[in-house]
Amino acid sequence: MMDQAAQLRKLSARRNPGAAGGHPRRDKTRPARRVGSCRSIAVTSGKGGVGKSSISLFLAQSLARLTKRVLVFDADLGLANIHILMGVSPRYNLAHVVRGECALDDIVLDGPGGVRVAPGASGIEAMANLDSLGIESLVRELVTLEEGNDFLIVDIGAGIGQNALRLSAAADSALLVLTPEPTSLADAYATAKLLFAKGMRRIAVLVNMASSDAEGREIFDKFQTLVGNFLNRKLALAGILPFDKDIPRLVRSQRRYLAHKPKSTIAVRMNAYARALCGLPPAAPGNFFTRLFGPKAEE
Ligand SMILES: Nc1ncnc2c1ncn2[C@@H]1O[C@H](COP(=O)(O)OP(=O)(O)O)[C@@H](O)[C@H]1O
Ligand SMILES: [Mg+2]
């Protein structure tokens, strides 16, 4: 663990690149905006492999098409990281920033479709090694990422582990992805229950890989009934996306699915959901990173 003085020197060098010990950097931070005007959406699920990373990317690209400024924060420690889906190879991630080996701007990469990505997963665990001053300082920097964007899409790892839950709960809303697989509903219910218990205000549900709209609707209705009866909460339906065998193929060949199949049901519905999101009331006050790491985060 770095001693505190060294940590602060590195953090301060990052904030003031011209200062002694700092290094010049490309300023990719967009113009500062009113605090709280960036809407954070946690794309989450009860189980893995349901399409969270793909949907994070689609949603980000659909929002970017509407001229929204979008940053995807990759918070998934799993293997299929979103930068692979975006065809970018990050040299650094948040863990390097935490260790003082690069600036925060260095981890933000331009991806296809006007979307940017920040690989964050391993850094979140690494932040546990910083003391409270170090965390506070880094959070102030992370918040500038939000201030420069209209939407922060957080691609979350699967499951109801503490990390995944804490990350999801820090967002303004959750987009809960489920599939017609038999265990998906029970896993999604467990996730929704824990998220509501952590104070999540809004959960929208996206049924992915449905074999028909009727099947997707039936799954949503079942889920909504469960959540209504046992948790007394309401859910929104973000959309039903069909199974499309072209998704893995296009991803493997690094081609943008939405650009390649703009008239597909998936493209049309993701675009419609992005438009609906833009019409919702503004984000709650505060921001994702302060809620995630702020003084009250552990309560
Ligand atoms: N609607 C879909 N139809 C077909 N395959 C899909 C669909 N959505 C995702 N996939 C594929 O499912 C696999 C898992 O998707 P991924 O986005 O990595 O899920 P997660 O992030 O939840 O683990 C990938 O191979 C992806 O290409
Ligand atoms: Mg993923």
Looking at residue 76, its pLDDT comes to 78
Residue 18 has a pLDDT of 36
Greater confidence (140 vs 221) lies with 221
247 Cα to the center of ligand 1, angstroms: 7
Q: Answer yes or no: is the C-beta of 244 below 6 A from any ligand 1 atom.
A: yes
Distance 176 CA to ligand 2 centre (A): 13
Residue with tokens 């303004």: 172
Pocket of ligand 1 contains residue 52 by CB under 6 Å: yes
Instruction: Output the residue whose Cα is nearest ligand 1's atom 23.
Output: 49
> Under CATH, what is the fold of the domain 38-279?
Rossmann fold (3.40.50)
- How far is Cα of residue 168 from the mean position of the Cα atoms in its chain? 8
Question: Does residue 230 register a pLDDT over 80?
Answer: yes
Condensed to tens digits (0 to 9), the pLDDT of residues 93-135 reads 898 998 889 999 999 999 888 899 998 877 777 887 788 888 8
Q: Quick check: CB of 248 below 6 Å from ligand 1?
A: yes
Q: What is the side-by-side strand order in the sheet with 151-156?
A: 109-110, 116-119, 70-75, 151-156, 39-44, 173-178, 203-210, 236-242
pLDDT given at position 80: 58
Q: For 269-291, what is each residue's pLDDT tens digit? A: 999 999 999 987 766 778 898 88
Per-residue pLDDT of 42-61, as tens digits, reads 999 988 889 999 999 999 99
Ligand 1 proximity of 45 Cβ (cutoff 6 Å): yes
At residue 248, the pLDDT reads: 87
Does any ligand 1 atom lie closer than 6 A to the CB of residue 270?
no
Sequence-distant (≥ 6) Cβ neighbours of residue 159 within 8 angstroms: 46, 47, 48
Residue 299's pLDDT is: 46
Position 36 pLDDT exceeds 60: no
Show me where the domains of the chain are located: 38-279
Contacts of 265 (CB under 8 A, 6+ apart): 241, 242, 244
- Closest residue to atom 6 of ligand 1, CA basis: 247
| 3-state DSSP helix/strand/coil % of the chain, to nearest 5 | 50, 15, 35
Q: Which two tokens stand for residue 192?
A: 């929704």
Residue 6 has pLDDT above 80, yes or no: no
Measured from the Cα of 251, ligand 1's closest atom is: 27
Q: What is the pLDDT of residue 274?
A: 96
Decide: 93 in ligand 1 pocket, CB within 6 A: no
The bound ligand whose nearest atom lies closest to the alpha carbon of 82 is 2
- What does the block give as tokens for 217? 């609707």
User: N- to C-terminal Cα distance for the chain?
Assistant: 25
How many A from CA of 85 to the centre of ligand 2? 9
pLDDT digits (tens, 9 = 90+) for 179-215: 999 899 999 999 999 999 999 999 999 999 999 999 9
Residue of 82, 211, 247, 260 to mutate, ligand 1, most atoms within 8 A of C-beta: 247
Tell me if 196 CB under 6 Å of ligand 1. Answer: no
**pLDDT at residue number 16:** 42
Ligand 2 centroid, distance to 60 Cα (angstroms) = 14
Q: What is the pLDDT of residue 90?
A: 87
Ligand with an atom nearest the CA of residue 76: 2
Nearest CA to ligand 1 atom 17: 51
- Give me the residues paired with residue 116 across strands: 71, 110
